Chain A
Amino acid sequence: QVQLQESGPGLVKPTETLSVTCTVSDNSINSDHYWGWIRQPPGEGLEWIGSMYHDGSTYYNPSLKSRVIMSIDTSKYKFSLNLSSVTAADTAVYYCARGDFYHMDVWGKGTTVTVSS
């Protein structure tokens, strides 16, 4: 069973860029799957950030679109999320996930990112 593992900075300063990477345990990153990012602020619900196909096509949440870039490196079995100009409101657990376009059936354990000076 494929496993996903997020890695992130832990702490990011306001106005800086948050970068989180998801490492995929097998070659499924090169096959017919979508790769997504979802976040969860402390004590709150889930927010869909966006998803991308292995060919690089992307779908972003309009509320974040001006600040988000997703990328994929199939040779390294990794995909990444960059979120620019962060504020305290971006403090959350960031999850990566795999699925088809309509649902995500494999999730990473999540990485906590705190935005604070």
Chain B
Amino acid sequence: DIQMTQSPSSLSASVGDRVTITCRASQTIGSYLNWYQQKPGKAPKLLIYVASSLQSGVPSRFSGSGSGADFTLTISSLQPEDFATYFCQQSYSTPHSFGQGTKLEIK
């Protein structure tokens, strides 16, 4: 199975900050990398797929980059509604494993 490792596990930031979350795969996965946002008590929401494609309806302040084994999710200017937990997921091979999550908290 492919292991996905996110860093940091938690992050404190302020409204208006630029934030970057990193995801590393245990082997190359091409661009088969998704990012999800999850708020407490809610289902995950797809933000980015195939590493850099923005899901319809997702604000343009979210962006994804990377290929191979190293990927990043960037939020260009944090808004109050962005404080949540973010998960990466590889879909290069089954099982489509997730990272452990990054909790983004208000500073």
User: Are A and B associated in one complex?
Assistant: yes
**A interface residue numbers (CB < 8 A to B):** 38, 45-48, 50-51, 59-63, 95, 99, 101-105, 107-110
With A45-B99, A45-B100, A46-B87 already in contact, the answer to whether A107 and B44 are too (CB < 8 A) is: yes
Is B59 an interface position by the 8 A CB rule?
A: no
Given contacts A61-B94, A105-B49, 12 further A-B contacts (CB under 8 A): A45-B87, A45-B99, A46-B44, A46-B89, A48-B89, A48-B97, A50-B94, A59-B94, A102-B32, A102-B50, A103-B34, A105-B46
Contacts of B94 in A (CB 8 A): 48, 50, 59-61
With A62-B1, A103-B91 already in contact, the answer to whether A45 and B98 are too (CB < 8 A) is: yes
Contacts of A95 in B (CB 8 A): 43-44
In the assembly, what is the distance between CA of A101 and CA of B48, in Å?
A: 15
In the assembly, what is the distance between CA of A108 and CA of B36, in Å?
A: 14
User: Interface extent on B, as a size class?
Assistant: 20 to 34
Chief secondary structure at chain B's binding surface: loop
Q: How far is the CB of B84 from chain A (nearest CB, A)?
A: 13
Is B39 an interface position by the 8 A CB rule?
A: no
Contacts of A48 in B (CB 8 A): 89, 94-98
Is B55 an interface position by the 8 A CB rule?
A: yes
Contacts of B32 in A (CB 8 A): 102
In the assembly, what is the distance between CA of A104 and CA of B101, in Å?
A: 17
- Contact indicator B98/A109 (Cβ below 8 Å): no
- Contact indicator A102/B99 (Cβ below 8 Å): no
Q: Which of B1, B43, B49, B99 contacts A103 (CB 8 A)?
A: B49
